Chain A
Amino acid sequence: MVPIAYYLVLAGVLFCIGIAAFLMKRNIITIFMSIELMLNAVNLTFVAFAHMWHQVSGQIFVFFVMVVAAAEAAVGLAIIIALFRVRQTLNVDQVNLLKN
Chain B
Amino acid sequence: MNPQLLWLIPTLPFAGFLLNGTLGRRLPRAAVAAIALFFTLAPALIVAKLWSYMQSAGAPLALSISSRPWIAVTGFSVNFAFAVDHLTLIMLGVVTGVGFLIHLYSVGYMEHEEGYWRFFAYLNLFMFFMLVLVLSSSFLLLFVGWEGVGLASYLLIGFYFTKDSAANAGKKAFIVNRIGDFGFLLAMFLLVQHYGSLSFDSVFSQISAAHLSGGLLTTIALLLVLGATGKSAQIPLYAWLPDAMEGPTPVSALIHAATMVTAGVYMIARCHVLFDHAPAALTVVAIIGALTALLAATIGMVQHDIKRVLAYSTISQLGYMFLACGVGAYSAGIFHLMTHAFFKALLFLAAGSVIHALGGEQDMRRMGGLRKRIPITFWTMTSGVFAIAGIYPFAGFFSKDEILYQVFTHGGALYIFLWLVGLATAGLTSFYMFRLWFKTFFGEVRFTEDTQHSHGVHESPPMMTFPLIVLGVLSVTGGWVGIPFVLGGSNEIEHFLRPVFHPFPALEVPFVPELVSGGATEAILALISLLTAAAGFYFAWLLYYRKPGEATRLANSTNATRFAYKLLDHKYWVDEIYQRGIVTPLLAISRVLLNGLVDTGIVQGSAWALTEGTGGLGWLVRRVQSGNIRSYAGWLALGAACVIVIVLFGHHPFH
CB of B634 within 8 A of CB of A99, answer: no
Q: Which residue of B lies closest to A99 (CB)?
A: B627
A24: shortest Cβ distance to chain B, in Å? 8
Q: Which of A23, A26, A31, A100 contacts B634 (CB 8 A)?
A: A23
Q: Which of A22, A93, A98 contacts B633 (CB 8 A)?
A: A22
Known: A19-B637, A23-B634, A23-B637. A100 touches B629 (CB 8 A): no
Is B2 on the interface with A (CB-CB < 8 A)?
A: no
| A 23-62 to B, binary, CB cutoff 8 A, 1 in contact else 0 | 1101000010000000000000000000000000000000
A41: shortest Cβ distance to chain B, in Å? 13
Report the bound CA distance from A19 to B633 in whole Å. Answer: 9
B164: shortest Cβ distance to chain A, in Å? 55
Is A13 on the interface with B (CB-CB < 8 A)?
A: no
CB of A92 within 8 A of CB of B629, answer: yes
Report the bound CA distance from A95 to B628 in whole Å. Answer: 8
Is B558 on the interface with A (CB-CB < 8 A)?
A: no
Q: Which of A23, A98, A99, A100 contacts B630 (CB 8 A)?
A: A23
CB of A23 within 8 A of CB of B629, answer: no
Report the bound CA distance from A26 to B628 in whole Å. Answer: 10
Report the bound CA distance from A26 to B633 in whole Å. Answer: 12
Counting residue pairs across A and B whose Cβ atoms lie within 8 Å, the total is 29
CB of B626 within 8 A of CB of A26, answer: no
Report, as a range, how many residues of chain B touch the other chain.
under 10
User: Which of chain B's residues 447-470 have a Cβ closer than 8 Å to chain A?
Assistant: none
Is B625 on the interface with A (CB-CB < 8 A)?
A: yes
| A 62-100 to B, binary, CB cutoff 8 A, 1 in contact else 0 | 000000000000000000000000000000110111111
Main secondary structure of the interface of B (DSSP, over half): helix
Q: Which of A95, A97, A99 contacts B626 (CB 8 A)?
A: A99
Residues of chain A lying within 8 A (CB to CB) of residue B627: 96-100
Q: Which of A23, A26, A97, A99 contacts B625 (CB 8 A)?
A: A99
B642: shortest Cβ distance to chain A, in Å? 14
Report the bound CA distance from A93 to B637 in whole Å. Answer: 18
Q: Which of A19, A22, A31, A96 contacts B628 (CB 8 A)?
A: A96
Residues of chain B lying within 8 A (CB to CB) of residue A95: 629
Report the bound CA distance from A14 to B96 in whole Å. Answer: 101
CB of A93 within 8 A of CB of B634, answer: no
Q: Which residue of A lies closest to B629 (CB)?
A: A92
| B 605-627 to A, binary, CB cutoff 8 A, 1 in contact else 0 | 00000000000000000000111
CB of A23 within 8 A of CB of B628, answer: no
A82: shortest Cβ distance to chain B, in Å? 16
Residues of chain B lying within 8 A (CB to CB) of residue A26: 630
B207: shortest Cβ distance to chain A, in Å? 77
Report the bound CA distance from A96 to B628 in whole Å. Answer: 6
A10: shortest Cβ distance to chain B, in Å? 18
Q: Which residue of B lies closest to A96 (CB)?
A: B627
Report the bound CA distance from A31 to B633 in whole Å. Answer: 10
Residues of chain B lying within 8 A (CB to CB) of residue A96: 626-629
Residues of chain B lying within 8 A (CB to CB) of residue A92: 628-630
A76: shortest Cβ distance to chain B, in Å? 13
Report the bound CA distance from A41 to B64 in whole Å. Answer: 93
Report the bound CA distance from A22 to B630 in whole Å. Answer: 8
A14: shortest Cβ distance to chain B, in Å? 15
Residues of chain B lying within 8 A (CB to CB) of residue A100: 627
Residues of chain A lying within 8 A (CB to CB) of residue B626: 96, 99
Residues of chain A lying within 8 A (CB to CB) of residue B630: 23-24, 26, 92-93
Q: Which residue of B lies closest to A95 (CB)?
A: B629
B645: shortest Cβ distance to chain A, in Å? 15
A48: shortest Cβ distance to chain B, in Å? 18
Residues of chain B lying within 8 A (CB to CB) of residue A19: 637
Report the bound CA distance from A91 to B159 in whole Å. Answer: 77
Report the bound CA distance from A19 to B628 in whole Å. Answer: 16
Report the bound CA distance from A96 to B630 in whole Å. Answer: 11
Report the bound CA distance from A99 to B622 in whole Å. Answer: 10
Q: Which residue of B lies closest to A25 (CB)?
A: B630
Residues of chain B lying within 8 A (CB to CB) of residue A97: 627
Residues of chain A lying within 8 A (CB to CB) of residue B628: 92-93, 96, 99
B561: shortest Cβ distance to chain A, in Å? 86
Q: Which residue of A lies closest to B641 (CB)?
A: A19
Residues of chain B lying within 8 A (CB to CB) of residue A22: 633, 637
Q: Which residue of B lies closest to A92 (CB)?
A: B629
A39: shortest Cβ distance to chain B, in Å? 14
Report the bound CA distance from A99 to B629 in whole Å. Answer: 11
Q: Which residue of B lies closest to A93 (CB)?
A: B628
> Top 7 A-B pairs ranked by shortest CB distance?
A99-B627, A96-B627, A92-B629, A23-B634, A19-B637, A22-B633, A98-B627
List the interface of chain A (C-beta within 8 A of B).
19, 22-24, 26, 31, 92-93, 95-100
Since A93-B628, A93-B629, A93-B630 are in contact, a sample of 10 more A-B pairs with Cβ atoms closer than 8 Å, ordered by chain A residue number, is A23-B630, A23-B633, A23-B634, A26-B630, A31-B629, A95-B629, A97-B627, A98-B627, A99-B626, A99-B627
26 A-B pairs whose Cβ atoms sit less than 8 Å apart in the complex: A19-B637, A22-B633, A23-B630, A23-B633, A23-B634, A23-B637, A24-B630, A26-B630, A31-B629, A31-B633, A92-B628, A92-B630, A93-B628, A93-B629, A93-B630, A95-B629, A96-B626, A96-B627, A96-B628, A96-B629, A97-B627, A98-B627, A99-B625, A99-B626, A99-B628, A100-B627
